[in-house]
Amino acid sequence: MRFAAYEHRHRHRVAVVEEDGTLMPLPGVTSLTALLQETGGLPGLLAAGAAALDVPPGPHVSEVRLLPPLQPASVRDFVTFEEHVEGVRRSVEGTGGVPEQWYAAPTFYFTNPHAVYGPGQDVPVPPGSSVLDFELEVGAVIGRE
């Protein structure tokens, strides 16, 4: 089951996304983050999603503005690829290789949870900057079973 947060007619909504891109809105739900908190996680989310399949279909995903799926309170960015560790080490320290410690405790840093944008949203250029360094990030939600 796939979920999407979106804006349609100036209203924020959450829906189950059907295979053909049809959105099945969850009645009264405006935040996937809040829904997860209120329903106790994945079982509640799946129950809410199953209930949405019984309501009239909403717009197609091509007719809405997609929003970030979650508004996390915290974001940790892990350095998960050996090649990335090597590249950063080479550019900063002038040496190659991956330190043995990295395999025992991969490096991460806390990043700005307010800098999460949805597909097609404009990303503002910080004041004083003339260029942006951008990269694709893949998110994983980790929580209780």
Number of domains, the chain: 2
Query: Are residue 17 and residue 52 in the same domain, yes or no?
Result: yes
- Which residues have CB under 8 Å from 142's CB, separation 6+? none
* Contact call for residues 67 and 118 (beta carbons, < 8 A): yes
The more confident residue out of 35 and 23 is 23
State the pLDDT at residue 18. 94
Query: Are residue 47 and residue 92 in the same domain, yes or no?
Result: no
Phi, psi of 6 (to 5 degrees): -155, 165
Report if residue 125 sits inside a domain: no
Where do we find the tokens 């080490």? Answer: 89
What range does the domain containing 27 cover? 2-66
- Which residues have CB under 8 Å from 20's CB, separation 6+? 60
- In whole angstroms, give the CA distance from residue 138 to residue 117: 13
* Contact call for residues 74 and 110 (beta carbons, < 8 A): yes
Where do we find the tokens 């942006």? Answer: 132
The pLDDT of 37-45, averaged and rounded, is 84
pTM of the model: 0.70
Query: Are residue 22 and residue 40 in the same domain, yes or no?
Result: yes
Categorize the per-residue pLDDT at 145 as very low, low, confident or very high, splitting at 50, 70 and 90: very low
The pLDDT of 38-46, averaged and rounded, is 84
Query: Are residue 7 and residue 57 in the same domain, yes or no?
Result: yes
State the pLDDT at residue 141. 64
